[in-house]
Structure 1
Amino acid sequence: MTTTDRPDAKARFERPPAVHGPRGVLRDSGPQYLVNGLVGLIFAATGPVAVILAVGVQGGLDQRQIASWIFGVFFLNGVLTVVVSWVYRQPLAFLWTIPGTVLIGPALSHLAPAEVVGAYVVTGVLVLVLGLTGWIRAAMAAIPMPVVMGMVAGVFLGFGTGLARAVTDDVAIAVPMVVVFLVLTAWGAAARRVPPVVGALVAGIVAVAVTGSFRYEPDGASLFAAPVLAVPTWSWQAMVELVVPLAITVIVVQNGQGVAVLRAAGHDVPVNVATVLCGAWSVLAAGAGAVSTCLTGPTNALLTVSGERERQYTAGIACGLLAMAFGALAPLFTTLMLATPPAFVATLGGLAMLKVLQAAFVAAFGHRFTFSALVTFVVTASGVTVLNIGGPFWGLVTGCVVALLVERGDFRAS
């Protein structure tokens, strides 16, 4: 993206560059961008979907309500991802807040689903209003980047440790994937033709087929999702318990990760516009009983893992289109994805995240704010939860306080 193409940083709402027509998008696309979009979708459609299923079952939602939730977070957010990635020519993947989903589980034990939906709507309005003020971009710019990347490193560390555990838990699946990935990474000429993650994906599919570990059991349910209109009920208890934590997970935790990984990849993220869209789309998704929309961190990291920066937006478009298909066929795809062995998903996600995790460590500990970045990393990786708000938020808060107390000279140098 050239200087003249970048969103206007001085305007309250960042203006997009000239929009490419369909021919321009096709010209910029390529196999590695399509694969990056596919890997991003596979990540979102496995572990995070399992979280939704677990929370839904724990909260007493029926199968139709859970399927509607999955439709909302994939199909509706997929539409948003395609449009915004195309318009801004950046890989801007919008999905849903996973920490926010975890918050919903305990709440459903004593709140009616309609009350939780009411909290979704109010959260969306709150995020929308904050986005309209134009303050979000300034607030994110005020936080030192090493501190933000320390938080990102703490969040993404789990992918690396998950990869190590997968290798020991399921050797037959994980080892072939790791070996192919390392061979392609070391063999530069081959890597230019077959990205290492693609090789690992193919090796994993072969390993799953050879070992017979694909456990698909058709349950006779409909292949196509049938969204259920969720009518909100207003409850002060739900507002007090859920709205502020959900808004924090969207704006600070999830959007903070998304902005950080995209900036690390060289993209000039339209922060205020993204916040406004997250708020508006959260209200829309609430109609299907879906948790709040966010600018996702891990998926955007996967979309930017390889290729030319100016063409990576096509990976976002591919991911959005695949998300729409997944949402429309949520019952079928959810069954298929959960039928793969856990080691396949953990290994693929871990290998894809290695470069991102490396870049996060370099950015966090390379020059300034190294001590506050370390504190942020430790608090984030600890997984502490205070006031129903998880470690990434408290890692950022602690890191900023430590930076102000201990590393004031780095603020002046910056």
Structure 2
Amino acid sequence: MRIAYFTNEYPATSHTFIRREIRAMETRGHTILRYALRCKPEELIDPDDIAEMERTAHVLHLPKARLLASVISSVLSSPAAFFRAARTASRYSSHSKRGFLVHLAYLAEALVLADWFRRDDVEHIHVHFGTNPATVAALVHDLTGVPFSITVHGPEEFDRPHEHALGKKTAAASFVAAISSYGRSQLMRWADYEHWHKLHIVHCGLDATYRNQPLPKKPSNTFLCIGRYSEQKGHLLLIDAAAKLRDQGAQFQIRLAGDGPLRPIMEKRIHDLELSNHVLLLGALPQMKIREEIQTARALVLPSFAEGLPVALMEAMALSTPTITTYVAGIPELVERENGWLVAAGDAAALAIAMKEALAVDAPTLAAMGAQARARALARHDITTSARLLERHMARSGISAPAETQTITQQPTPASL
């Protein structure tokens, strides 16, 4: 089947999970057409992302004349559909602080995509993130009649559910996938009960390379943190916890992989607390280097204030690395006491205690925790299972799927059905 994958920005360093999902769907025999509003090619460092750039059509990268031609073509193909989509844009704008003019821009983007989707014979649209890409997809649905579905990640959608019209989008979509039970529960808050049957759990998945047995870990005092340098990831709290751990005489290093707007503030905080020997900012790294960093770390530390369910956690756990993280969103569904440490979000003292405990754990215990982490991550986050689930839900909106998908479930089973 011909399925359009659409999101705000693709490819992107932080969207590895989308790339894996696309490839798994292609392996299932579907033709996946990639579309996005934009991409920042100068920020791409992974060879696989660079290759995806060439396969993706970007709305906002086209010359204005070609954009205008697509808009006109789409309007002329069905004026009635255009006015229907315009009414939908107006209704969505009434919930949003961005107002009607921004939603008029979303309508223009939808007109371009509608023209492309007709040309490319798209049979289903799948959108990652319930924010503006889902708005655009809903408008494309009005323009073309092509069914669409959404994977909602959080936390942004759940921070402003009214503004993002989650209830209206759920009503219009053929189904909505949540990446955790927590995420599904939040969608249930905003969707009318009559649409709850559309809400399903489809985990972000790990590809087959993670099933290869990782190399045995050598004892180290290194912690790794992976994530965009932004407020919600808790990096500044981690730096404060590092100061507490240093003052207690612990020998350790924290390596922070990522980049983002908080970097200058983080650098200043590290300097002010004299932590340059203990906290190192690595910047953005390609996926292969990330895996190397995970396999040399004693534990992954992710002190997030807000999350969906971080892909970095499942990657680290699949590579037999215990984790230190927070009781936030879907994280406790994956991380348990047997395979890591859970602490209260925003508590630097508790975070320092957990890291100190991790440093004190002997090698056999750490290995046992890593083995349990690996087993749990691989059981819950298999990309082939996730692709089959998506395929099954799409089939209910008219896309054919192999008969085997009718029996596929994903843990926890009851919430996935």
Larger Rg: 2
State if a TM-score over 0.5 links the two structures.
no
Q: With structure 2 as the length reference, what TM-score do the two structures score?
A: 0.24
* Structure that is richer in helix per residue: 1
Higher RCO, 1 vs 2 (CA within 8 Å, ≥6 residues apart): 1
Q: With structure 1 as the length reference, what TM-score do the two structures score?
A: 0.24
